[in-house]
Amino acid sequence: MDGVDLTDLDRFARGFPYEVFDALRRDAPVWFHPATANTPGGEGFWVISRYADIVAAASDGATFSSEGGPGRDGGGTLIEDLPGGFAAGVLLNMMDDPRHQRFRRLLTPSLAPRALRTIEADLRRRAGRIVDAALAKGDCDFLTDVAAELPLQAVAQLLGVPQEDRHQLLLWADATLDHEDRGLGESTDRTRQAAAEMFAYGSALLERKRAEPADDLLSLAAHARIDGDPLPDLEQQMLFNLLIAAGSETTRNAIAIGMHAMIDDPGAWARLRDDRERLPPAVEEMLRWASPTPYNRRTATRDVTMGGRRIRAGDKVTLWWASANRDDEVFPDPYRFDMTRTPNPHLALGRGGHFCLGAALARVEMRVVFDTLLDRVDAVEPTGPLEYTRSNKHSGVRHMPVRLHPR
């Protein structure tokens, strides 16, 4: 694996480097990635690339912590250590049980399929307006004009964020997630300013929810209790940041990359339009294909052997979901976009106790967007290249220029 550097973000600037992970699964499925000039903290980490090993690690939260491990002051789910007590252990996705599950149970009913059925009609109305506006343009940016809009409007509604503020929140979130002008673990004046402004906005909004609660997730968090105690202010704030980013970013990328895959298969759009029963499995294949979150990190809490390699307590361990989703031991012909693929046990939404909290919402949004497009759009014609974000943590799309042809 000489020359492989998964902390060199230029390697991800044109999409996920699947060919690197094909070699890893074949030759070094449990591989220690040495530190390079690009690696935060000058510390190496383990790379787990096979489906079976990733499922085993993700399902063992006691051994593979989302929060931290022995000898560490910080931790979290990024390659770089984030400070304990601020991100690690405070963000819901960087929290271990039992508090993680207790916190998660507060939010789960609002994001369960039964609850989402009550807002699906509203999502369809919104999707209709979004697609009609894009059709009126003709030439548009599919990412910003279509793929991003419904997830952004939906998360604003669920959180109780005024719709007129949603694009500003998206700009702040994008600034903190994209690494266009920085390396891993680095910040710039632009990212620091965006984080500070988003924090100030969230603090003010949560203060209003405490004084005037409504039927939304932020009001729920502002008044919730775990073991009789209210959630600390910082946990509430970090939940706001997490849900804005996760609720708007991952689904839009799955929609855009899924559409791009269908454009590459000229008959796919017509087949899906003529047989809508194909849509649910098509959504699952889009998720597998896009793998919007390529990896999550864990930290070993004890010495453990995996794939014949000894992982030490305190070591960083990265689980590469995107690699698992191309593992030919699980997915026959994994590089074929197959909208009828069944079974399709992809890991695009994670596995284990940290399975994506918004999985049902993402699936509903994708189904609604594509149903609406299929009703109104005869063909989607690319007018320029798909532009990816420069990140190994998010399979992000910056721009996707297309021409929409109405039915």
In order of start, what are the domains of the chain with their CATH numbers? 9-406 (1.10.630.10)
Question: In the chain, what's the furthest Cα-to-Cα distance?
Answer: 61
Confidence band for 181, pLDDT divided at 50, 70 and 90 = confident
Give per-residue pLDDT as tens, 79-89.
Answer: 999 999 989 99
Alpha helices in 112-232 (DSSP H): 113-117, 120-137, 149-159, 166-177, 189-211, 217-223
Q: How many CB atoms lie within 10 A of CB 114?
A: 8
* Segment 340-382, tens digit of pLDDT: 999 999 999 999 999 999 999 999 999 999 999 999 999 999 9
pLDDT tens for each residue of 45-64:
999 999 999 999 999 999 99
Query: Residue 84, SS3?
Result: strand
CB 18 within 8 A of CB 324: no
Contact indicator for 111, 358 with CB cutoff of 8 Å: yes
Lowest mean pLDDT, pick from 75-79, 116-120, 379-383? 116-120
Q: Which of 173-182, 183-192, 386-395 has the lowest mean pLDDT?
A: 173-182
Lowest mean pLDDT: which of 15-29, 49-63, 237-251, 358-372? 237-251
| pLDDT confidence of residue 270 | 92
Tell me the C-alpha distance between 79 and 60, whole Å: 19
- Token pair 């294949």 is found at 285
Tell me what pLDDT residue 132 has: 98
Closest CA to 13 of 385, 319, 315, 343: 385
Q: How confident is the model over 253-265, as pLDDT tens digits? A: 999 999 999 998 8
Q: What dihedral do alpha carbons 31, 37, 43, 45 form, nearest 10°?
A: -20
Across the range 213-233, mean pLDDT stands at 94
Burial of residue 221 (CB within 10 Å: 0-12, 13-18, 19+) is: buried
Beta bridge partners of 310: 305
For the chain, what is the mean pLDDT?
Answer: 95
2 — pLDDT class (breaks 50, 70, 90): confident
Residue 1 in this model has a pLDDT that exceeds 80: no
The pLDDT of residue 182 = 87
pLDDT score of 53: 98
Mean pLDDT, range 294-321, rounded to an integer: 98
Mean pLDDT value of segment 230-257: 93
- Choose among 72, 64, 109: nearest CA to 350: 64
In degrees, rounded to 5, the angle at the alpha carbon of residue 292 between the alpha carbons of residues 288 and 298 is 100
pLDDT for res 245: 87
Question: Roughly what angle, to the nearest 10 degrees, separates helices 279-290 and 359-376?
Answer: 120
Instruction: Give DSSP secondary structure letters for 295-334.
Output: EEEEEESS-EEETTEEEPTT-EEEEEHHHHTT-TTTSSST
**Quick one: pLDDT at residue 178?**
82
Each residue of 125-153: pLDDT tens digit? 999 999 999 999 989 999 999 999 999 99
Q: In this predicted structure, which of 33-47, 88-102, 172-186, 258-272 has the lowest mean pLDDT?
A: 172-186
Please give the Cα distance from 151 to 241 (Å, whole number).
15
Q: How confident is the model at residue 15 (pLDDT cuts 50, 70, 90)?
A: very high
Q: What is the dihedral of CA 203, 292, 128, 402, to 10 degrees?
A: 120
Pairwise CA distance, residues 299 & 319, whole Å: 11
Confidence tier at 176 by pLDDT (50, 70, 90): confident
CA dihedral sign of residues 220, 226, 230, 233:
negative
Token pair listed for 349:
């939404």
The pLDDT of residue 286 is above 90: yes
